[in-house]
Amino acid sequence: MVWKRAVVVGASGGIGSALAGQLQDQGTQVHRLSRGVLDLTDEESIQTAASVLGEDGPLDLIVVATGYLHNGGEGPEKDWRHLSADELAHNFAINATGPALVAKHFLPLLPEGERGGFAVLSARVGSISDNRLGGWYSYRASKAALNMIIRTLSVELARKKPDAFCVALHPGTVETNLSQPFRRNVPDGKLFTPAYSAEKLLGVLSSLRPEQSGRCFDWAGQEIAP
């Protein structure tokens, strides 16, 4: 399907840029929001962006393509001795709180009585039941929180806009700055270009139905257990 009007938050990143470009190629009117316009740690900037875009009518697709894993230093925690209040707070601010605030201000812009979608980039490591390796405390916990936020939003969205859905998406391991230090452990054929990941994610979004709202799906359309 062709989405009529979409917004991509985090459009300057690898996956966000690819999503925005492919949507535009499909004929969608795309609004690209990056940190210079919308700061996930500044609710006022989120509210302002939503108010401006809302003046031109509804948005039938909203994608939050942002994320934080490491600051280029020691990387995600490998041991509980590496836990830091600052790092936990920053992960939650970018990976959970920020997307929740985007939902707060942008979900009202989904169309009434028509299909619409809200999607955030999550990660398989946010699955509690799938955690067998440990480590990466802050990232895992913040993505698990994000998945719960999506689930909770879906309950309210079903009452207010029953033709819409909200989901979390796992894009796979993609060639971006976020994944750069960890690529050597990726199996052959499992390191995706941003263009490939974006194509697969848009295919998943096109096929989703409102009754699938609140779940987490990977790039191949397979549901990831919480």
CATH at residue 21: 3.40.50.720
From its phi and psi, is residue 113 left (phi > 0), alpha (psi between -120 and 50) or beta? left
Cβ within 8 Å of residue 210, ≥6 positions away: 115, 158, 162, 163, 164, 165
Whether 169 contacts 221, CB under 8 Å: no
Encoded tokens for 157: 């969205």
DSSP 141: H
Domain of residue 213 covers 5-218
Per-residue pLDDT of the chain in tens (226 residues, 90 and over written 9): 789 999 999 999 999 999 999 999 999 999 999 988 999 999 999 999 999 999 999 999 999 999 999 887 677 999 999 999 999 999 999 999 999 999 999 999 999 999 999 999 999 999 999 999 999 999 999 999 999 999 999 999 999 999 999 999 999 999 877 666 666 666 666 789 999 999 999 999 999 999 999 999 999 999 999 9
Residues 77 and 85: their CA atoms lie apart, in Å, by 12
Q: Is residue 226 part of a domain?
A: no
Q: Is residue 51 part of a domain?
A: yes
Per-residue b or e along 177-199, where b marks 16 or more CB atoms closer than 10 Å to that residue's CB: ebbeeeeeeeeeeebbebbbbbe
